[in-house]
Structure 1
Amino acid sequence: MNSEEHGETSKAPLGRGLGRGVSILDLVLRVIAVVGTLASAISMGTTDQTLPFFTQFIRFKARYSDFPTLTFFVVANSIVSTYLILSLPLSIVHIIRSRAKYSKLILIFFDAAMLALVTAAASSAAAIVYLAHKGNARANWFAICQQFDSFCERISGSLIGSFAAMVLMILLILFSAISLARR
């Protein structure tokens, strides 16, 4: 009987240490996701390129705000970034108090909502970036990336941080769910 009690007490510190490790990993993943979403929003939001046409008075300009989908991308990544920043203190509380169950459940719920938002934004922006690169002959949409190469490089690059944040958000949800299931 004594060995069983000893076995239970020896597992408790291991479980707490593992829980604390998962909470620290949660915090690190949130910080990296903040960087990804914020960099994506800033990169896309500051993208524009102007090309002269015959004279200096007639110019063609490409801006992210010319495409409503890219505007949605900037707004959605800004919202997700703000949420992730606001969730950092709660993530720190989970490091200190690894037994907090309801706050982890709340984070899973909001993490899932933010995952849906960033997925919608990144996917719709990826479709526009594809059209900018390839065009669509059937719809008579021309590829603009041969002329606006700098613009296209920046909008393509801004997708990377957003898709990385999607992966990180999935990992956050999985780790939180595993942590809750162990209880």
Structure 2
Amino acid sequence: MAKESTTIDVGEPSTVTKSSSHVVVKEKKKGFVAAASGGGSKRGLAIFDFLLRVTAIAATLTASIVMFTAQETLPFFTQFLQFQANYDDLPTFQFFVIAVAIVASYLLLSLPISIVTIVRPRAVAPRLILLIFDTVVVTLNTAAAAAAAAIVYLAHNGNQNTNWLPICQQFGDFCQNVSTAVVAASIAIFFFIILIIISAIALKRP
């Protein structure tokens, strides 16, 4: 009778199993590193967002308070004849004070939501809420600043076609205050643009 030979190969399957498990572990490690790096970058954006909001609060409060306190009385020999310039003499400046005060209030109320984005950088809902409301509020801030800037321009330069004379030569302090308020509101608009860009980047990144 011929002898039958039997060959048992047990080494190769174990090698395949070990290599496949090694690949899975590597993929998990890569995914964990990517998730950690993404969360860290989003947290950095959230911290920058919070600091910008605090700075924007200071700018809008400065604009509203400076405009609210803008007034000047020209000295004359008699107390019965006086020329005064107050912010409430012009509806545009009144609108500016109210609108910028609303913007400052919104920024203050948005700070807790900004803190949530720091604690939970991957949360979508808080970041989306900030993006929507920032877009709405920056429109109000821009409208107030643009309207006030037009009046400030007329106060400085006048308009010869309509016989509007410049008043800043007489009311220098008043014009300086309203100009400062408009500049502060314009700086707040710049901050809002950066805030909107930050929210868009944070929502886009995985």
The TM-score with structure 1 as length reference comes to 0.96
- Contact 2:116–2:126 (CA<8 Å) still a contact in 1? no
In structure 1, stretches of 5+ residues that fail to align are none
**Residue matched to 1:61:** 84
**Residue matched to 1:95:** 118
Distance in 2 (CA, whole Å) between partners of 1:129 and 1:123 is 10
- Contact 1:52–1:58 (CA<8 Å) still a contact in 2? no
CA shift for structure 1 position 140: 1.2
Q: Deviations over 1:16-72 (max 9, x none)?
A: 111111000010000000000011000000110000345232100000111111111
Rg: which structure is higher? Answer: 2
Amino acid corresponding to residue 205 of structure 2 in structure 1: R
**Residue matched to 1:27:** 50
CA shift for structure 1 position 13: 1.2
Q: The residue matched to 2:159 in structure 1 has which SS?
A: coil
**Residue matched to 1:52:** 75
Structure with more contact order per residue of length (Cα contacts < 8 Å, sep ≥ 6): 1
**Residue matched to 1:41:** 64
Amino acid corresponding to residue 188 of structure 2 in structure 1: A
Distance in 1 (CA, whole Å) between partners of 2:33 and 2:51 is 28
CA shift for structure 1 position 104: 1.2
Q: The residue matched to 2:80 in structure 1 has which SS?
A: strand
Q: The residue matched to 2:161 in structure 1 has which SS?
A: coil
Identify the range of structure 1 (51-60 vs 149-158) with the bigger mean alpha-carbon deviation: 51-60
CA shift for structure 1 position 3: 3.2
Q: The residue matched to 2:169 in structure 1 has which SS?
A: coil
**Residue matched to 2:190:** 167
In terms of fraction of residues, the more strand-rich structure is 1
Distance in 2 (CA, whole Å) between partners of 1:3 and 1:89 is 39
Question: What is the aligned-residue identity percentage?
Answer: 49
In structure 2, stretches of 5+ residues that fail to align are 1-22
Amino acid corresponding to residue 144 of structure 2 in structure 1: A
CA shift for structure 1 position 4: 3.3
Q: Deviations over 1:67-99 (max 9, x none)?
A: 111111111100000000000011011111112
The TM-score with structure 2 as length reference comes to 0.86
